[in-house]
Structure formats: C-alpha cells, structure tokens
Amino acid sequence: MTSAIELGRLAELCGRLRASPARLAKLALLAEFLRALPADVVATAVAFLTGRAFSASDPRVLGVRWLPAAEREATGPPLTLPDVAAAFAEVAAAEGAGTRRARDERLRALAARATADERETLQRIIAGEMRTGVSDGLVLEAVARAYAIPLEAARRAALRLGDLSELAALAARAGAEALASASARPGVPLLPMLAQIAEDFEDVLEAHGGTTALEYKYDGARIQLHRDGERFAIWTRRLSDITASLPDIVETARRELATGPYILDGEVVALDGSGRPLPFQDLMRRFRRVHEVEKLVREIPLALHFFDCLMADGHALIDEPYRIRWEALTAVTGGRHLAARSIVSSVEAAREFLAQSLAAGHEGVMAKDLGSAYEPGGRGKRWFKVKTAVTADCVIIAVDRGSGRRRGWLSNYHLAVRDGAAFADVGKTFKGLTDRQFVEMTERLWALAVNDDGYTVRVRPEVVVEVAYNEIQKSPTYPSGLALRFARITRIRDDKAPGQAATLDELRALYERQFVTKGRAV
C-alpha cells in the first residue's frame, strides 16, 4: 500500500479540498482519505492536514517558516508521509553551531524530491496554514466517519486526549472501544471547564440541589499545571504553553506540591508590593515575556490559587465528582495555594461570601455543584460565576462587517464615550445581542453610515448602548488611553440621547476607583 502513504496523495487531497466549497463534500473527501491509510501513518496525516509538523501534544517545533527552494526538478523515489515526518524530526532536533544551515540543508534535500504540488503542501505545513477550509472540528467528524465511531464518542475522546492525531491513531487501530477508555495524560492540555453567568444565588442553589461550593473568582488568568516526574508544563486557557514565562510557578510546584503525575486547574494573580491584586493588564506582561523573565518575576510576583484536580498520582479524575477532586487537590497541594472556598446552603451565606471576595479586590465568586464531573470545554449549570455588573452608557461610532455566521451583518461595534464635543473610542464588542437585534441594528446603522472602507463603516454617533465590562484598563491603542475589558452590550438605550452617554472624565474616575481594592503596578 505504498501509494496510500505517498505525499502526492496528500497534496492531491488538499487541492480537491480547496476546490470543494461545500462542507459535506470536504467531509466525504477527508473520511475517504483517512479510511484508506495504514494505521501507522494516520497520526502523521492528521497532523499535516491540520497544519502541524507534529501532533498537538508533541512539544517539538521546526524553528523555520519557509521551505528552501529546490535546485532542480523532483528526483529520486516518491516522497512518503514517513519520509516527511523523519525530515521534520531531524530539523527539530538540530541544535548548536550551524543549526540554521543544517535545517536548511535537510529541508532543501526534502524539497529536491518533491513535485511542485508537493512543495506547496510542504510549505503550507511548515507555515501552519493549509488554507483548505478544513477545521479541526471537520477533521474530527471525518475520523468518526472513517472508522465508524459515534460522533459524540469521538468528541468526548478528543476533549480528554487533547490531540486529534492521537485520537485518529487510536480510532484506526482499535476503534470505538479504544476511544471510550481514552483519558487525560500529563503534558497534553485539556480544554478548561467553563461556567454560566448567574445573576443571583437563588437559581444557583436550586440548580445545585440546595447546597453549592463557592470559591473566590480571582481577577487573574486561568492556568493548567502538569507534572510528570521532573517535567513541568503550564498552559493558558487557550492552551498556549507558557512554562518558560512562569519559572516561579514551576519552582513553587517543585518545592511545595506532590511529585505527581498530576494535572491541576487554577488561577494566577499578579500582586503589588503590599500583596494586593494588580489589574489583569499587568498580569499579561508576565505571560507574554520570553526575555529577561527573571527581572519581571521580581517586579510582578504571582499568587497561585488552585481549584481543581484533573489527575492525581497518575489517575485521571475528570469523571469523579467535584467533592472527590477537591479532596485529591488538597492532598496534592498539602492544603497550600487553594482557592478561598465555602460550602453554603443559603442565599444569605452566599451573599456574605461574595461580599468578602469583592472586598478583597476579586471579581466575584464561582459556584460549583458538589457532585459535578469535570467536563473539558463544557459550559453548563454545574458551574456558575456570580459577579456584580459594572456598566457604562456608550455611543456606537463605527461598526465592522461581520464574518462567518455573522456575514451580512454589521456586528462588531466601536464604542465611545463623550470627550467634550467629540467622542473617544474605548473599545469594541460583538457580544450581547440576539440574532434579531443584530439584523435590526444592521439596518439602523446603515441608515446612519457616513463612510465605508469596505471593512469598517463609520456612523453618525446616535445609538446609545449600555455596556457591561469587567475592568477599565490602560490602552496604548485608543487615544482616550482607556479600554473596557470584556465589553458586552446589555441594553440598547433608546431612552438616552448621545449627549447623555458617559464621559471620558467619568471613565477616568472609575479607572482610578478600581485601585481602592486593587494594587497598582509601579
């Protein structure tokens, strides 16, 4: 079956995928291709199809963005997928003096054996942009179809494995039974479980059977900490690897937590010199820093708060109830660095705990069902977040054309507040409106249009909206100097004229008021 694993077959498939605009046609092409592959190359094929030189759980990187030009037409035997995988492995392993030359020479040798179409496919894999219109979700569906696996079973396994290549390889080798037993692994991040927003605690207690576990909702950033022996990894909510940016968290884990293997879910908060939480914007400086990390570690120390345990002593716990996972978390951490927590059975006790969280400078509280399993990527009534809403009345001064599901609508609204006789930009949002409201707002804003560059439509500042936000932060982007974080429209204020919107001075005062409970970076 050599022909089934030739790179030319993958290049041909990619061409057909680009030429097929229909989603179902793409799905059929993918499933047919995967079904014909030997099981031992399926993982490699899926990685390449999703624009990855290596599988999602493989930490190796190529360290290059371009395929060197070939000096002659393709020569030698046809390239196979294992040939390409082996070349990529050698490129990733190159190190020391002459690394760049060694990588280029290996890739140039690869290109010399490739046809023009194959070179294009190789370049797209290296750049991470296949541009075939195929998403990870579509590949997942194709895997399910190719190996006769129920789609929901495939989705569930994908959430646990965190790696489509591994999923496809398991499915090809052993089918649905293997996927049913798939579980979390250290070093492979899981999508975080998410929460619904609740306005008050009556609905929370009703949904959770009269008792709920409350935790402080920290004004920080979600992290997932993995340990397997002396290997540590830290992932963000979006599954970006930030281990190198947080050496202090790694050292804390090495010194104070169990030896693992474990996977912990938690939050880090930036602190000022007096131990008060800093705004989210200051925390992001830690996450983005890749040079002079130690200097920033000293300037912006982090507080660590764990609230869930997805694996302890090598045993996956995501199917266990929250109360059991908390017990495991306490054992792994020795009771250190745990989120502030209270189990309550009354609205009064819940509100008192919320007040404590807000007074400490945090966002609110999380409410969790004691019997809930951990659902990677899931959002439901098992977890709620309860926060006090802060709003400002803003004016829409421009709007971007929508894309994807919002194509045909004007749907990303530019928000502004009054600044003397003018209006000052303070953010954008596409959140908060129903589909019907999007349609109505599109018609309304087109009638107010004064300029259109093909992407952004400037409009007369006549529509006032109430905007909820999490925080006001400094902005280098807007001349106003301020931006609303996580802005979302809560009401269209047809009862207000633009002259009644919030002012920039008011927003500046609100920004300063945040530091009554928060710290301020120096």
pLDDT at 379 over 80: yes
Q: Does one domain contain both 360 and 410?
A: no
**Is residue 7 a contact partner of residue 81, using CB atoms and an 8 Å limit?**
yes
- What value, to the nearest 5°, has the Cα angle with vertex 410 and ends 408 and 413? 155
**Is residue 227 a contact partner of residue 151, using CB atoms and an 8 Å limit?**
no
Phi/psi at 24 (5° precision): -65, -35
Q: What is the CATH number of the domain that holds 91?
A: 1.10.3260.10
Q: Where are the alpha helices (DSSP H) in 322-464?
A: 322-333, 347-359, 435-446
186: three-class secondary structure by DSSP: coil
Q: Does one domain contain both 233 and 284?
A: yes
| Interval 253-273 mean pLDDT | 93
Q: Does one domain contain both 226 and 374?
A: yes
Measured CA to CA in angstroms, residue 459 lies from 323, 399, 436 at distances of 53, 8, 20
Q: How far apart are CA 422 and CA 445, in angstroms?
A: 19
> Which residues make beta-bridge pairs with 341?
215
Q: What is the CATH number of the domain that holds 287?
A: 3.30.470.30
Instruction: Give me the chain's average pLDDT, please.
Output: 90
**What is the 3-class SS of 358-371, one letter each residue?**
HHCCCCEEEEECCC
Q: How far apart are CA 164 and CA 155, in angstroms?
A: 10
**Lowest mean pLDDT, pick from 155-159, 164-168, 180-184:** 180-184
Element (H, E) at 235: strand 231-236
Q: Does one domain contain both 419 and 352?
A: no
Q: Tell me, yes or no, whether 54 lies in a domain.
A: yes
Domain end marker among 337, 371, 386: 386
Single-letter residue type at 209: G
Per DSSP bridges, beta strands 488-492 and 262-270 are: unpaired
Domain end marker among 180, 207, 229: 180
Domain end marker among 386, 418, 435: 386
| Interval 299-313 mean pLDDT | 94
Q: What is the pLDDT of residues 190-233, one digit of tens each?
A: 889 989 888 789 999 999 999 999 999 988 889 999 999 999 99
Q: Does one domain contain both 109 and 246?
A: no
| Interval 349-356 mean pLDDT | 94
Phi/psi at 210 (5° precision): 95, -10
- What value, to the nearest 5°, has the Cα angle with vertex 443 and ends 437 and 447? 140
Among residues 26, 217, 368, 518, the one annotated as catalytic is: 217
373 DSSP 8-state letter: P
| Interval 148-172 mean pLDDT | 91
- Banded pLDDT at 95 (limits 50, 70, 90): confident
Q: How far apart are CA 108 and CA 444, in angstroms?
A: 56
Q: Tell me, yes or no, whether 399 lies in a domain.
A: yes
Q: Domain range for residue 348? A: 194-386
pLDDT of residue 349: 96
Measured between its terminal Cα atoms, the distance across the chain in Å is: 64
Q: Does one domain contain both 380 and 421?
A: no
Neighbours of 247 (CB within 10 A): 14
- Banded pLDDT at 2 (limits 50, 70, 90): very low
**What is the strand order of the sheet 262-270 is part of?**
231-236, 221-228, 262-270, 302-312, 315-316
Beta strands in 242-336 (DSSP E): 262-270, 302-312, 315-316
Quote the tokens at residue 153: 């079973």
Q: How far apart are CA 67 and CA 111, in angstroms?
A: 7
Q: What is the CATH number of the domain that holds 500?
A: 2.40.50.140
pLDDT of residue 247: 94
Structurally, how many domains does the chain consist of? 3
Q: Does one domain contain both 337 and 371?
A: yes
**Is residue 223 a contact partner of residue 270, using CB atoms and an 8 Å limit?**
no
215: three-class secondary structure by DSSP: strand
pLDDT at 281 over 80: no
Who wins on pLDDT, 355 or 3? 355
| Interval 26-39 mean pLDDT | 96
Q: How far apart are CA 335 and CA 324, in angstroms?
A: 14
Q: Does one domain contain both 322 and 367?
A: yes
Per DSSP bridges, beta strands 390-401 and 212-217 are: unpaired
Who wins on pLDDT, 337 or 5? 337
Q: How far apart are CA 490 and CA 494, in angstroms?
A: 13
Who wins on pLDDT, 402 or 25? 25
pLDDT at 345 over 70: yes
pLDDT of residue 71: 67
pLDDT at 40 over 50: yes
pLDDT of residue 280: 74
pLDDT at 1 over 60: no
Is 217 designated active site? yes
pLDDT at 77 over 60: yes
Q: How far apart are CA 2 and CA 13, in angstroms?
A: 16
**Lowest mean pLDDT, pick from 210-224, 274-288, 298-312:** 274-288
Signed CA dihedral, 23, 28, 33, 39: sign only: positive
pLDDT of residue 478: 93
Q: What is the pLDDT of residues 470-482, one digit of tens each?
A: 889 999 889 999 9
pLDDT at 3 over 70: no
Q: Tell me, yes or no, whether 188 lies in a domain.
A: no
Element (H, E) at 217: strand 212-217
Q: Does one domain contain both 44 and 125?
A: yes
pLDDT of residue 335: 97
pLDDT at 308 over 50: yes
pLDDT of residue 522: 62
Quote the tokens at residue 521: 């970076």
- Residue identified by tokens 């190789």 is 122
Phi/psi at 331 (5° precision): -70, -45
- Banded pLDDT at 72 (limits 50, 70, 90): low
Q: How far apart are CA 30 and CA 50, in angstroms?
A: 12
- Banded pLDDT at 371 (limits 50, 70, 90): very high
Q: What is the pLDDT of residues 425-481, one digit of tens each?
A: 999 999 988 888 999 999 999 999 999 998 999 999 999 999 988 889 999 889 999
Q: Does one domain contain both 203 and 301?
A: yes
pLDDT of residue 272: 82
Q: Does one domain contain both 429 and 449?
A: yes
- Banded pLDDT at 169 (limits 50, 70, 90): very high
Q: Tell me, yes or no, whether 187 lies in a domain.
A: no
Q: Where are the alpha helices (DSSP H) in 312-396?
A: 322-333, 347-359
Q: Tell me, yes or no, whether 170 lies in a domain.
A: yes
Who wins on pLDDT, 283 or 415? 415
- Banded pLDDT at 340 (limits 50, 70, 90): very high
pTM summary value: 0.68
In percent, the amount of the chain with pLDDT more than 90 equals 62
**Is residue 124 a contact partner of residue 18, using CB atoms and an 8 Å limit?**
no
| Interval 368-395 mean pLDDT | 89
- Which among 113, 50, 51, 117 has a CA at the least distance from the CA of 84? 113
Q: How far apart are CA 99 and CA 106, in angstroms?
A: 11
Q: Does one domain contain both 307 and 337?
A: yes
